Amino acid sequence: MDIVNIPILKIENFLIASVQVALYDMQAIQFKDAVLQKIYETKAKGVIIDLTAMDVLDSFVGRLISDIAAMARLMGTTVVITGLQPAVAITLVELGLELPGVTTALNLEKGIAKLRLITENNADGNA
């Protein structure tokens, strides 16, 4: 299986990872590790995982996204999922997968706006 390198970009104090290919188990694990390492290196306050290009999501990748969110939360980072296609949302519900601690947004622009709002509210609460 080829290693798929999913770019993780830093914009403001956020990381953006746009998944453009179907992730198989090993690739998904590498993606999780890369996101968590990038959070650690950049001290990002938010991560957007953009799934706009994905039309299929299996239970393993769904659980992995939930795991990324839980681990990121422990690192002080909020995760927002953007661009869920209707078929993917239906699949997640049919599989009974919940994504606790994961915020969703319709698209990347709305995801960035949500992260700004969440991080500003957290900063105000800590002051």
Helix (H) or strand (E) holding 67: helix 59-74
**Tens digit of pLDDT for each residue in 5-61?**
889 999 999 999 999 888 888 999 999 999 999 999 999 999 999 999 888 888 888
- CA–CA separation, 19 and 5 (whole Å): 10
Helix (H) or strand (E) holding 13: none
* Domains of the chain as residue ranges with CATH: 8-126 (3.30.750.24)
**Tens digit of pLDDT for each residue in 70-112?**
999 999 999 999 999 998 888 888 888 888 878 999 999 999 9
Q: Which two tokens stand for residue 81?
A: 């999922």
Q: Is the pLDDT of residue 123 over 80?
A: no
**Tens digit of pLDDT for each residue in 54-64?**
888 888 888 89
Q: pTM for this one? A: 0.89
- CA–CA separation, 115 and 98 (whole Å): 20
Q: Which two tokens stand for residue 114?
A: 């949500």
